[in-house]
Structure 1
């Protein structure tokens, strides 16, 4: 398989679409918390607010699976030139961790919500905190590449071809 020089339009749309859904999840998590508390107390859930968290979560899971399929089928651009081997390994590890968390978070959320497994709810919260830390690291690394190294890394996720 040849190595693409940039991400495909679909890969870029998935990246930013997932990012937007994660922002939605950050806001809607405040609605799901009281609903989860009600479930644990055996109370009935009313209203649509929990759905505003569950549906975007399912969407993240499905879109991440599509993104992984595209990643394996079409590849990703090679690492930018001039980076150290340690930087390349750190970037690869961070991307793997992002994908793992983006699969574990919705899976644990679904297990908690539909299975009533409180340990899954606890894991869901911990995984989300880890994801936030990785997103911050990811954003800072992108900014570093753009404004310090000026190596054009960010342009690969802004436009295809």
Structure 2
């Protein structure tokens, strides 16, 4: 755990955040590649959707390690306590879902497991809903509260 609170995310945290966002969107757009995956030959190469998922999995592990070691800035003190708790749990849910979703997808592909594929689908839906809530909250802070919270994830900040 960090020895002192941090005011902002590090450049690597911000870069990983946006890279993972792009990769998750790409995986979602390429999800049709995985229809009837069980019909692929046993020695088939992992389709691009799966390679992106594998990349997200490892980048999320890296991101989690950095988050635990370095920390993250706290939510604004001006937010009500329920919003701070919601932000906390939403962030950790995003971490868990962005790790577990590709993990389940990998099990589905390599073990040819329909059950793992079903779990992957449920986790994917939860990930997308949670990411939409996270995005809505960030936009709320940017355009309604106008507290500059979104600036913490800007790659071009000074």
Same fold (TM over 0.5): yes
1:6 counterpart (5, 8, 11): 8
Paired residues, what number? 155
Structure 1 moving runs of 4+ over 6 Å:
45-48
Structure 2 match to 1:141: 137
* 1:76-87 matched pairs, under 5 angstroms: 76-87=72-83
- Tell me whether 1:38 sits opposite 2:34 in the alignment: no
Quickly say closer, same or farther: Cα 1:31–1:38, change in 2 above 3 A. same
Q: Aligned-pair distance for 1:46?
A: 9.6
1:24 counterpart (19, 23, 26): 26
In the aligned structure 1, how far is the partner of 2:35 from the partner of 2:128?
Answer: 18
Quickly say closer, same or farther: Cα 1:16–1:155, change in 2 above 3 A. same
- 3-state SS of paired residue (1:145): helix
**Structure 2, unpaired ranges of 5+:** none
Structure 1 match to 2:109: 113
- Tell me whether 1:99 sits opposite 2:106 in the alignment: no
**Do the aligned residues in 1 keep the contact of 2:33 with 2:47 (CA within 8 Å)?**
no
**Do the aligned residues in 1 keep the contact of 2:142 with 2:150 (CA within 8 Å)?**
yes
* Two-structure CA RMSD over aligned residues (Å): 1.8
**Structure 1, unpaired ranges of 5+:** none
Q: Aligned-pair distance for 1:47?
A: 8.0
Q: Aligned-pair distance for 1:29?
A: 0.3
In the aligned structure 2, how far is the partner of 1:47 from the partner of 1:121?
Answer: 17
- 3-state SS of paired residue (2:74): coil
In the aligned structure 2, how far is the partner of 1:102 from the partner of 1:117?
Answer: 20
In the aligned structure 2, how far is the partner of 1:103 from the partner of 1:52?
Answer: 18
Q: Aligned-pair distance for 1:100?
A: 1.0
TM-score in terms of structure 2 length: 0.91
Q: Aligned-pair distance for 1:38?
A: 2.0
Higher RCO (Cα < 8 Å, 6 or more apart): 1
